[in-house]
């Protein structure tokens, strides 16, 4: 017994040391990883798994796109699909290695294509699957191949195989239709694109101040596991700490955008289908500790212009 305890302690200590020495980044290459190292799954609690797949970032590179999988004796719930039919079919194949149970629910936490473009694969494999989304995301995906048929405006509790799963609307964040999935008994909260692990705040469709509030609600839940929609699924203490880092990055973008707006420096919003406009404000921006975060090459001007829109009352009103 003493020997076994020593071995377990050494294993725990070694794992903790390895996690502590990981480079905090959203980029695969910086972590010494490559696309062939993925997909990978991690069991957070009995029947509760994360799924990380490698996807192409902008600018070119690789980062992860993450999903949550809850396996029960009566079926499976998936939070967020992947960005293509092939990638989602591969995820389904990995789930089938875990259980013969069908996927009964897919929760659309982010309606962006890197999380929904493969949703047709769920319907093809499981014709009775139910897709759940917020009212905003349901409208966004209304003309997609597999539109969501059920909506969650505030909270919905799904009881399946002895598991209780909460679908939560914590407020507008990255997409405006953001949902989170909580497994209360296991203290696991999947935040999708409301949480980017070491990615510069991507605000193309975001709501800066409301995003901060949504993260605050998540932090108040005091989960053990906070799972990001992009970025590595590290250990639980690291992810909790990094959620606060993500919150601080958004707060910094709001503060810097507000400062630049007060100086009268221009940063017009992007127009879909048009080349990115010049953003003189970004030339005067100070991104401090966030200047080397993944996606810093493209996202700062977008964040500035989105903060400008919020300050000027030009963001869409809540539905």
Blockwise average pLDDT, block size 10, the chain, 319 residues: 44 47 92 94 98 75 92 98 96 98 98 96 98 98 97 98 97 98 98 98 97 98 98 98 98 98 96 91 98 94 98 94
Q: 65 near 36, Cβ under 8 Å? A: no
CATH number of 46's domain: 3.60.15.10
* Predicted model pTM: 0.93
Report the C-alpha gap between 108 and 106 in whole angstroms: 6
Q: What is the pLDDT of residue 7?
A: 40
Q: What is the pLDDT of residue 13?
A: 42
Q: What is the pLDDT of residue 55?
A: 79
Cis peptide, bond prior to residue 39, ω within 30 of zero: yes
DSSP element (H, E) containing 68: strand 62-72
CA distances from 260 to 70, 135, 230, 289, 304 (A): 44, 34, 28, 18, 8
Report the C-alpha gap between 75 and 65 in whole angstroms: 23
Is residue 104 situated within a structural domain?
Answer: yes
Q: What is the pLDDT of residue 58?
A: 56
Q: What is the pLDDT of residue 270?
A: 87
As for how many domains the chain has, the answer is 1
DSSP element (H, E) containing 49: strand 48-56
Domain residue limits at 57: 22-238
Q: What is the pLDDT of residue 21?
A: 74
Q: What is the pLDDT of residue 19?
A: 56
Is residue 316 situated within a structural domain?
Answer: no
Report the C-alpha gap between 103 and 10 in whole angstroms: 38
Q: What is the pLDDT of residue 62?
A: 82
Is residue 206 situated within a structural domain?
Answer: yes
Is residue 17 situated within a structural domain?
Answer: no
Q: What is the pLDDT of residue 61?
A: 66
DSSP element (H, E) containing 44: strand 40-45
């Amino acid at each position: 017994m003493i020997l076994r305890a020593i071995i377990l302690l050494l294993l725990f200590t070694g794992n903790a040391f390895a996690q502590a020495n990981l480079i905090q980044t959203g980029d695969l290459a910086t972590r010494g990883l490559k696309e062939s190292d993925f997909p990978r799954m991690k069991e957070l609690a009995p029947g509760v798994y994360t799924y990380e797949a490698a996807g192409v970032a902008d600018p070119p590179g690789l980062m992860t796109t993450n999903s949550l999988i809850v396996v029960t004796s009566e079926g499976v719930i998936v939070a967020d699909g992947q960005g293509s039919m092939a990638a989602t079919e591969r995820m389904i194949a990995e789930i089938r290695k875990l259980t013969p149970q069908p996927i009964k629910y897919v929760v659309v936490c982010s309606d962006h294509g890197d999380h929904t473009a493969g949703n047709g694969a769920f319907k093809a494999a499981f014709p009775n699957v139910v897709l759940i989304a917020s009212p905003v995301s349901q409208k966004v995906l209304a003309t997609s191949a597999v539109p969501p048929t059920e909506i969650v405006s505030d909270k919905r509790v799904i009881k399946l195989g002895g598991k209780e799963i909460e679908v939560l609307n914590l407020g507008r964040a990255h997409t405006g239709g953001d949902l989170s999935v909580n497994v209360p008994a296991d203290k696991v909260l999947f935040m999708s694109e409301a949480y980017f692990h070491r990615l510069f705040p991507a605000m193309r469709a975001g709501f800066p101040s409301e995003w901060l509030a949504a993260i605050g609600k998540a932090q108040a839940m005091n989960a053990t596991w906070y799972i990001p929609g992009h970025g590595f699924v590290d250990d639980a203490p690291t992810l909790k700490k990094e959620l606060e880092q993500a919150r601080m990055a958004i707060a910094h973008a709001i503060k810097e955008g507000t400062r630049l707006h007060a100086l009268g420096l221009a940063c017009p919003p992007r127009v879909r289908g048009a080349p990115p406009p010049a953003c003189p404000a970004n030339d005067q921006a100070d991104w401090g500790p966030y200047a080397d975060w993944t996606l810093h090459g493209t996202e700062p001007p977008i964040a500035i212009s989105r903060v400008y829109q919020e300050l000027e009352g030009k963001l869409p009103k809540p539905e």
